[in-house]
Homo-oligomer: A and B are copies of this chain.
Amino acid sequence: MASDKQDKQFVTEITPQSEDFSRWYIDVIKKAELMDYAPVRGCIVFRPEGYAIWENIQQEMDRRFKETGHRNAYFPMLIPESFFQKEKEHIEGFNPELPFVTEAGGDILEERLAVRPTSETMFGHMYSKWIKSYRDLPVLINQWANVMRWEKRTMPFLRTSEFLWQEGHTAHEDEKDAREETMRMLELYRDFVEDFLAMPVVMGQKTPSEKFAGAVDTYSIEAMMKDGKAVQAGTSHYMGTNFAKAFEIQYLNRDNELEFTHTTSWGTSTRLIGSMIMAHGDDRGLVIPPKVAPTQVILIPIGPPKMRDMVIERADALYAELKAAGIRVNMDDRADVRPGWKFNEYEMRGVPVRIEIGPRDIENGVCLLASRLGGDKLTVQLDNVVNEVKQLLDDVQKGMYERALEFRASHFHSVDNLDEMRAQMEEKRGFFLAGWCGSEACEETVRAETGATSRNIPFDPQEHKSTCVACGEAAKHTVVFAKAY
C-alpha cells in the first residue's frame, strides 16, 4: 500500500511494541495527538483527538446509566478533611494521595479541604440530609467529574494525578437490593467494555487486600493489554452500612423503625482510553474500535491533478451520503500530500475504515474499502456504499473483539506453585490462574516473588485450582494473578 520509504518514516517514529511497549504507547498517543504532558506533576492535557474518544465513551455509558434508572448530579470538588476521618479504612486508603487546598481568597483556611479522590464522603453527607423514609429509596445518582490522586508513578490516561471519571453512588433499603445494584453495574461495565471497546474482560471479586478502602466487597473487570499486563477497567463496590454509619444515613423503614441504608459505589475513568489503546494497538499505531472511534471512516480522493476537480466532486457527494447515514466520516483532500502518506497517517491514527476513490473507480461506479485490521481491499458499488461501509465497520468491531479474545486465550496460563509461576513468567506474558488459600501473606509472597498481584477471583474461571500457589495448602479460591498498570 505505502512505499517502503514512507513506511520507514513512520516506523522510526514509533517504537515497536516488541522493543519497548511503554515507549510504543507514549510514541503513539503523542504522535496521534491524543494527549500532551502538562506543566503540573502527573497531569496531562486531553487533546481534542483524545477527548473525543472520552466523549463517545461518556455518551454511550450515560445512555446506559439512564436506561437503568440513574440520574446525574454534581457535588462539590472540595471535601473537608474531617469527612475523611469518619470512615477509618477510607482515610487510611486515600490519605497518602490527597492534595489539599489550604489557602483561598488570601486567607489560610481553618480546615484543610481535600480535592476529591472519590466522593463517598460528600455523597454520604448529603444523603443523610435527603433520605428520611423508605419512600425516598433507592437513591440512584451518578456524577461525571474530575478527581485527583497524587500518584507517585504516572502513565498518561492509565494513572494521572488528575483524571476524569464517573462515580455512581446509590443508597438502598437492604443488603439484597444494594448487592443487586452492585452486580447490575458491574455487568453494565462488562457489557459496555466488551461491546463498545471490544475488550474481553475477566469479571470477579477483589481479594480483601485489593478492595476499595471502606467497602465490604469490591468487584472488578480486568482487561489484558498487548504486553500481557492487566488493567482494572471498572469497579463496583458493596459498602454494606459502613458509610451509612459514618454519615448517619438513616431512614424509617416500612415498620416505622430507624435503619441504616446499604450503599454502593461504582466507577470507570479515562483509563478506559489508555487500556483500549494498549489492548488493540499495533506497530503501525492506534487501532480504534468503530463504535468508539471519533473518525470511523477516512475518505481519500486519488488521481492526477487534471482529474482532481472531478474526483473531489464525486467524493464530496460520497462524504455527504455517509454523513447523512450517521457514519462519522472525514475527508482528506489535501493536494500537497501523497495518498501513501495519508494511508499511513490514518492507519497510525487508528481510523477503522479507509475509502479510496479515483477516476477509474468513478468510471466503474465503485470505490475501494480498506480495513484497519488489514486483508484485501474491497471493491464496492457506489450505489451500495453505505451498506457496505456499515457492514465493514461491524466486521471490524467484531474482528477486534475476536482478535483480543484470541490474544487473551493464548496468554492465559495456569500454574500450580511458585517455582512454576516464576519460571513461566520469565518466558510468558499474561494472566496466571492459580489457587489461593485466602491468606494475605500468600498473596504478598506471590507479589514479592513474581511482581504479579491478585487481579480478582473470577466468577467463572476456566478451571478450579485445588492448592494454594504459595503455601500448597488447600485453595479456597481460584485467582487471576498478573502484573498490572
**Which residues of A pack against B, CB within 8 Å?**
36, 38-40, 43-48, 51-52, 54-55, 71-80, 83, 95-106, 112-113, 115, 122, 125-126, 129-130, 141, 145-146, 148, 150, 152, 162, 164
Collect the chain B residues with CB atoms within 8 Å of residue A54's CB.
Answer: 74
Please give the distance in Å from A243's CB to the nearest CB on chain B.
16
Please give the distance in Å from A224's CB to the nearest CB on chain B.
27
Collect the chain B residues with CB atoms within 8 Å of residue A39's CB.
Answer: 76, 80, 83, 122, 125
Please give the distance in Å from A52's CB to the nearest CB on chain B.
7
Are B99 and A104 in contact (CB-based, < 8 A)?
yes
On whether A45 and B72 interact (CB within 8 A), knowing A104-B100, A106-B96, A129-B36, the answer reads: no
Are A71 and B100 in contact (CB-based, < 8 A)?
no
- Beyond known contacts A39-B125, A45-B76, A100-B101: 11 more, CB 8 A cutoff: A39-B80, A40-B79, A48-B72, A55-B72, A95-B106, A99-B103, A100-B103, A101-B101, A103-B112, A105-B150, A145-B146
Are B40 and A78 in contact (CB-based, < 8 A)?
yes
Are A73 and B99 in contact (CB-based, < 8 A)?
no
Please give the distance in Å from A241's CB to the nearest CB on chain B.
22
Collect the chain B residues with CB atoms within 8 Å of residue A40's CB.
Answer: 76, 78-80, 113
* Number of copies of chain A assembled together: 2
The 9 A-B residue pairs whose C-beta atoms are closest, nearest first, are: A105-B150, A99-B104, A48-B71, A46-B74, A43-B76, A104-B150, A38-B76, A100-B103, A102-B102
How many angstroms between the C-alpha atoms of A83 and B5 in the bound complex? 43
Collect the chain B residues with CB atoms within 8 Å of residue A106's CB.
Answer: 95-96
Are A104 and B113 in contact (CB-based, < 8 A)?
no
Please give the distance in Å from A137's CB to the nearest CB on chain B.
15
Are B97 and A105 in contact (CB-based, < 8 A)?
yes
Candidates B47, B74, B113; contact of A164 at CB < 8 Å: B74
Candidates B43, B46, B125; contact of A78 at CB < 8 Å: B43
Are B162 and A78 in contact (CB-based, < 8 A)?
yes
Please give the distance in Å from A129's CB to the nearest CB on chain B.
7
Are B100 and A73 in contact (CB-based, < 8 A)?
no
How many angstroms between the C-alpha atoms of A51 and B70 in the bound complex? 13
Are B101 and A72 in contact (CB-based, < 8 A)?
no
Please give the distance in Å from A40's CB to the nearest CB on chain B.
5
- List 21 A-B residue pairs with CB atoms under 8 Å apart, sorted by A's residue number: A38-B75, A38-B76, A39-B76, A45-B75, A48-B71, A48-B73, A52-B72, A55-B72, A77-B146, A95-B106, A96-B105, A96-B106, A97-B105, A99-B105, A99-B113, A100-B102, A100-B103, A101-B115, A104-B150, A145-B146, A146-B146
Please give the distance in Å from A413's CB to the nearest CB on chain B.
36
Nearest CB in chain B to that of A48: its residue? B71
Please give the distance in Å from A313's CB to the nearest CB on chain B.
23
How many angstroms between the C-alpha atoms of A102 and B112 in the bound complex? 10
How many angstroms between the C-alpha atoms of A39 and B112 in the bound complex? 13
Collect the chain B residues with CB atoms within 8 Å of residue A99's CB.
Answer: 78, 101, 103-105, 113
Please give the distance in Å from A220's CB to the nearest CB on chain B.
24
How many angstroms between the C-alpha atoms of A129 and B47 in the bound complex? 13
Collect the chain B residues with CB atoms within 8 Å of residue A79's CB.
Answer: 40
How many angstroms between the C-alpha atoms of A83 and B39 in the bound complex? 10
Are A162 and B105 in contact (CB-based, < 8 A)?
no
Collect the chain B residues with CB atoms within 8 Å of residue A44's CB.
Answer: 76
Counting chain B CB atoms within 10 Å of each CB, the highest count among A45, A51, A122 belongs to A45
Please give the distance in Å from A424's CB to the nearest CB on chain B.
36
How many angstroms between the C-alpha atoms of A148 and B109 in the bound complex? 15
Nearest CB in chain B to that of A270: its residue? B74
How many angstroms between the C-alpha atoms of A464 and B238 in the bound complex? 67
Are B45 and A162 in contact (CB-based, < 8 A)?
no
Please give the distance in Å from A285's CB to the nearest CB on chain B.
20
How many angstroms between the C-alpha atoms of A95 and B145 in the bound complex? 25
Nearest CB in chain B to that of A55: its residue? B72
How many angstroms between the C-alpha atoms of A55 and B73 in the bound complex? 10
Collect the chain B residues with CB atoms within 8 Å of residue A103's CB.
Answer: 99-100, 102, 112
How many angstroms between the C-alpha atoms of A79 and B43 in the bound complex? 11
Nearest CB in chain B to that of A78: its residue? B40
Collect the chain B residues with CB atoms within 8 Å of residue A36's CB.
Answer: 126, 129-130
Are B101 and A73 in contact (CB-based, < 8 A)?
no
How many angstroms between the C-alpha atoms of A191 and B227 in the bound complex? 51
